[in-house]
Amino acid sequence: MALLQITEPGQALDPHQRKRAAGIDLGTTNSLIASVRAGVAETLADEQGKHMLPSVVRYTSGGIVVGDEALTEAVNDPLNTIVSVKRLMGRGINDVATLGDQLPYRFSATESGMPRIETISGFVTPVEASAEILRYLADRAGATLAGDLDGVVIAVPAYFDDAQRQATKDAAQLAGVNVLRLLNEPTAAAIAYGLDSGSEGVIAIYDLGGGTFDISLLRLRKGVFEVLATGGDSALGGDDFDRTIAAWIVEQSGYMKPLASEQLLGLMIASRSIKESLTDSARVDIDFDRNGVQFKGVLDRATFDDLVAPLIDASIKACLRAVRDARVEISEIHNVVLVGGSTRVPQVIDKVAEYFGKAPLNNVDPDKVVAIGAAVQANVLVGNKPDDEMLLLDVLPLSLGLETAGGLAEKVISRNTAIPTERTQEFTTYKDGQTAMLIHVLQGERELVTDCRSLARFELTGIPPMVAGAAKIEVMFNVDADGLLSVSARETSTGTQASVEVKPSYGLTDEEITSMLQASFEHATKDANQRSLMEARVESGRVIEALGNALAEDGAALLMESDIQTLQQAIEELGRVSAGEDHLAISEGTELLGRASEEFASLRMDAAVRKVLAGRNIAEVDKDI
Amino acid sequence: MDFNKNYFEIFGLPVDYAVDLELLGDRFLDLQKQVHPDRFAAGTDHEKRLAMQWATLVNTANETLRSSLPRAIYVLGLRGVELEDNPTLPPALLMDQIELREQLESIEDGEGGLKELDAFRQRMQKTIKQVQAEFKEALDEDTEKAARLVYELQFISKLMDSANRLEEKLLDY
């Protein structure tokens, strides 16, 4: 039977099949996955038609349960049911202690200081729990899109530091998901509204979720998003609205005794649905009678507004500070985007409109807007829209630095520096005969080491003994396009070189990831060999296709006929090997083809750069001195 | 790929302290649209590595040329003048800097607060403009003088950092 090929308008038809790409909003309370289908980005539902997946993972003796089913059991089985795992990502065991007694888990630490939770099926790190959620979502997408995903974009909060970003990427690796890019959540929301192709200016993203409030100010300049400032309140959200209503009901009922937890739970559930009704109705009839608390009456919009006004005012105050932080005027803010389910509350919309002096954008579902924006970006990155000009140049969210004498943090790369980037700082020894140096990598804006986040600590040894100040130690910081850091150090004055690559504290070592991957393969139904074969074929197919396209486009212009033939033969050869069953041979062939085409890739890059600079005249203009 | 090009050549700009920021911004974005790693998300490993190197170079070059102080240091470097970590400076310059520090401290302790701080910063902006103009002139005639002016700009830049921190303190966050 012939299959119909459906393409988007303006989209080049084959020979290249559309890739399967998705955007993931890995939220504290709920997670979503979205994909661009027939030109429209939309979130994907499970078999019951539900889009939102509660970010809850329950470990049982019989296996792992994710989502609604896990959430239902959270009350009965709190020790084995991990909720709000996002708060633990990239955190050390000591950070977890400061998160307070809200977490019922039995914590212990791995060797690298990463917290792990003791469950009925063994120790679980936050990265592993997150990987379960990602795997669940990826499987849903695989089923909906009829095939494994080629790549995903995962949205992360703009204020996520290096350790939190790395943890998110580690989780994706564990889940077997290919991450095209980590994307800042507010940037994703802006993309969902198509603001990347709109007018230049400042965009405010007001994100009121279940438990947290975030405000971000982005500047769009010549197609580049820059995060100007982020702020918010990690303990302000829609749950507080519910709590306020619950307290009001209790007060109205005249119930005086302290509330038991199941009474509170019942009240919270009722209050939430009252709040939701008040979005569309001016008044709600309440008939509450549970666990000894009795109330029959009416809550109207005006009373509700009075109840929650202090909460909304607190969020506006945070906006004020962020605006001042960003050093922008309110009048410069061209667009305000609402994110998070709690922004459905009419008074929130009114007060945001009042403060920013313009009606906020809210026609995209505020629960889905981040996942949708991530999906749009994933679709571009995976190569489905080759003519798309959209490019997001991200900036480093928090400054990176090193500890210097006296417990002070010295900045090496400051926040809002465009990434990818690299910076080399030179240090020297302070004692005669010193042969080692401690390198302590920090992230944050404050001056004292203790106020910054410690990312990694390592020692550079093997410095030849010299007088103080004679050794030259170069510390090099490399930040990739996802904002992830690697640091290396070497002594250069004598030609003796020692260099160390570091991973963030509390991160997973490569060995840990490997062993976790092996463990998960053992549980998986597909056998490891089969999986390796599939992965090797995907990779070889990717390289064959990329090189084939490149040859078609630029081969004739840049290469001699004999070189083109050599490459084409190599492509055919890899195609033959890939049809076989030997995944090692396929990987080797892929690597070989990659290496054979390196020269061509370099020539193409040079040609692209030359094209930008060609045929331009420099006009007489005002110059900056 | 030619990593030996200087930062001006990367953007096809004349090697000059005076820079057309509009043009720099345009070419920066045009170049990134060609070389950014996102353009090679589906490419080979070698392409990804190349893209990362290029994008990093273009970013670094842009950051250096975009702001006047790093650009001044870079232009001096192209003329073979390396700045010292602890240069010997004319006493008058040091006295001026101490005086300015004291002014900033008195703003911190005084009643005028933000208003005085703003006035202070405006005065400093004016000074920066003057020193920059002197630097541009000195660059062709007297690189030693040019280097001294860069040291002065470094002082003022650190002073402005302190002024900005003071603002945060006065605003209470």
A&B contacts, CB < 8 Å: 131
Share of chain B above pLDDT 70, in %: 97
Check if B8 contacts A (Cβ < 8 Å). Answer: no
Q: What average pLDDT does chain A have?
A: 85
**A8: in domain:** no
| R_g (Cα) of chain A, nearest Å | 27
DSSP secondary structure letters along A245-283: HHHHHHHHHT--SPPPHHHHHHHHHHHHHHHHHHHH-SE
**Which whole number is the average pLDDT over A363-372?**
96
CATH number at residue A173: 3.30.420.40
Q: Which of A163-177, A484-498, A503-517, A529-543 is modeled with the greatest confidence?
A: A163-177
* Exposed/middle/buried for residue B80 (C-beta within 10 Å: 0-12, 13-18, 19+): exposed
Q: Is the ipTM of this complex over 0.90?
A: no
On whether both A216 and A270 belong to a single domain, the answer is: yes
* Exposed/middle/buried for residue A445 (C-beta within 10 Å: 0-12, 13-18, 19+): middle
pLDDT of residue A499: 58
Q: Which tokens belong to A75?
A: 């009350």
- Render pLDDT for A314-358 as a digit per residue (tens, 0 to 9): 999 889 888 887 888 899 999 999 999 999 999 999 999 999 999
Q: Which residue has the tokens 């019989």?
A: A62
Asked if pLDDT for residue A622 goes beyond 70, the answer is no
Q: Does the distance separating the beta carbons of A546 and B42 come in below 8 Å? A: yes
- Render pLDDT for A165-205 as a digit per residue (tens, 0 to 9): 999 999 999 999 999 999 999 999 999 998 877 778 899 99
The shortest CB-CB distance from B43 to any of A546, A602, A622 is to A546
- Element of type H or E holding A161: none
Asked if pLDDT for residue A546 goes beyond 70, the answer is yes
On whether both A30 and A176 belong to a single domain, the answer is: yes
C-alpha–C-alpha distance, residues A385 and A496, integer Å: 48
**Greater pLDDT, A434 or A498:** A434
Residue at a domain's end among A153, A186, A219: A186
pLDDT of residue A281: 93
C-alpha–C-alpha distance, residues A422 and A419, integer Å: 8
Chain A from 137 to 166: CB within 8 A of any B CB: 150-151
- Going by C-beta distance under 8 Å and a sequence separation of 6 or more, which residues neighbour residue A504? A90, A162, A163, A166, A455, A456, A485
**Which whole number is the average pLDDT over A523-528?**
54
Q: Where in chain B is the domain with CATH 1.20.1280.20?
A: 91-170
- Cα A118 to Cα A108, A514, A565, distances in angstroms: 7, 21, 59
pTM of the entire predicted model = 0.81
C-alpha–C-alpha distance, residues A47 and A163, integer Å: 35
On whether both A214 and A330 belong to a single domain, the answer is: yes
Domain at B91-170, CATH from 1.20.1280.20, 3.40.50.720, 3.60.150.10, 1.10.3210.10: 1.20.1280.20
pLDDT of residue A67: 95
On whether both A68 and A182 belong to a single domain, the answer is: yes
Minimal-distance CA residue of chain A relative to B70: A625
What residues make up the domain containing A324?
201-363
pLDDT of residue B170: 79
On whether both A214 and A333 belong to a single domain, the answer is: yes
**Which whole number is the average pLDDT over A58-69?**
93
**A84: in domain:** yes
Q: How confident is the model at residue A55 (pLDDT cuts 50, 70, 90)?
A: very high
Q: Where in chain B is the domain with CATH 1.10.287.110?
A: 7-66
User: Structural domain tally of chain A?
Assistant: 4
Q: Under CATH, which number does the domain B7-66 receive?
A: 1.10.287.110
For chain B, residues with pLDDT lower than 70 are 1-3, 172-173
On whether both A316 and A279 belong to a single domain, the answer is: yes
Check if A407 contacts B (Cβ < 8 Å). Answer: no
Asked if pLDDT for residue A508 goes beyond 80, the answer is no
On whether both A298 and A234 belong to a single domain, the answer is: yes
**Greater pLDDT, A310 or A509:** A310
Candidates A390, A145, A151, A612; CA nearest to B41 is A151
Check if B30 contacts A (Cβ < 8 Å). Answer: yes
CA angle A133, A136, A140 (to 5 degrees): 140
Asked if pLDDT for residue A551 goes beyond 60, the answer is yes
On whether both A229 and A349 belong to a single domain, the answer is: yes
On whether both A321 and A407 belong to a single domain, the answer is: no
**Which whole number is the average pLDDT over A288-297?**
87
On whether both A415 and A493 belong to a single domain, the answer is: yes
Give the burial string for B27-47 (b: 16+ CB within 10 Å, else e). bbbbbbbbbbbbbbbbbbbbb
- Cα A11 to Cα A8, A34, A140, A193, B79, distances in angstroms: 5, 20, 26, 21, 51
Kindly list the residues from chain B whose CB atom is less than 8 angstroms away from the CB atom of residue A622: 20
Minimal-distance CA residue of chain B relative to A621: B20
Residue at a domain's end among A131, A156, A186: A186
CA angle A545, A548, A549 (to 5 degrees): 85
* A326 phi/psi in degrees, rounded to 5: -80, -10
pLDDT of residue A528: 64
Kindly list the residues from chain A whose CB atom is less than 8 angstroms away from the CB atom of residue B22: 621
pLDDT of residue A465: 86
**Greater pLDDT, A291 or A281:** A281
Asked if pLDDT for residue A7 goes beyond 50, the answer is no
Q: Which of A128-142, A232-246, A477-491, B46-60 is modeled with the greatest confidence?
A: A128-142
On whether both A155 and A261 belong to a single domain, the answer is: no
Asked if pLDDT for residue A597 goes beyond 50, the answer is yes
- Render pLDDT for A599-609 as a digit per residue (tens, 0 to 9): 898 888 888 88
Residue in A613, A617, A618, A622 to test binding to B, most B beta-carbons within 10 Å: A613
Asked if pLDDT for residue A82 goes beyond 60, the answer is yes
Q: How confident is the model at residue A5 (pLDDT cuts 50, 70, 90)?
A: very low
CA angle A613, A617, A623 (to 5 degrees): 100
Residue at a domain's end among A337, A363, A389: A363
On whether both A179 and A210 belong to a single domain, the answer is: no
